[in-house]
Chain A
């Protein structure tokens, strides 16, 4: 029935019958809106939360093992172990955005568990400590998750693009 409605040339709207359908609609709208958002001029993630501590000219990509995934405000953070060039294990802590932003990017509290093998790209801090800000993560199953919150340049006109939740 819904396929026929979708293909109909007559503009017909069928109200969502169930909560599950509301969630599915939300995901579909979210995906479309994120795509449209990427087509506009974007402001990097660090502009949202401040970049004073980070070396914004550098990106580091490593293979790592997750030790902790902290899902909370103000920022979620991911702890992992990665070996340095001498084979010593370094304990890293890298931050993302808040849960509201991360859900819109497809992340969740269940995205990671200790022991997960990942490939992570992040921006390191300037002072040399093992702290960073996440750019993206590639999971063991090959899925890539971006941590970049995209929004239109503040000096532009209102985008009108909502991020449906």
Chain B
């Protein structure tokens, strides 16, 4: 009913079993391959869940620290993407809980302010088209960022990470039906807030 999640397009970038075995042994070349294949995805998930650059960088750093520490527990027969998504979600959850996070939200100093950047591929388009795409991306990011954390998490994990509702249920510790309900509520809220983009 809700279509193919976009994350499934990443399947071609999966690491081989041999590469994952080398990651388990903390072989530096294999760690580099894992980093190169997974960094953008981890950062994007952290950024979409936390909503700002500084928090996303902190979370991404935490995730790769945890990956390094527990590399030996990696199952080489399984795609590490859901494992990484779980670690990223847990790191975001820890951050949401922290008092420091609430204090940071009150004031955003200049060195932590999100930097406006043109989206990937923008350079290939006309300036007007690039600007329009950037504005649309910002609108979408703001609307997603305004969702309650419980709804945002489910929406981001499904739409951008490509995880099935059953996998999300495992990550967030809910039943699948609850995840589906949250996903529907998230879409309903976005339907209202992005009304003008849907025409």
Query: Is the A/B pair a real complex?
Result: no
Binding site for B on A (CB under 8 A): none
Binding site for A on B (CB under 8 A): none
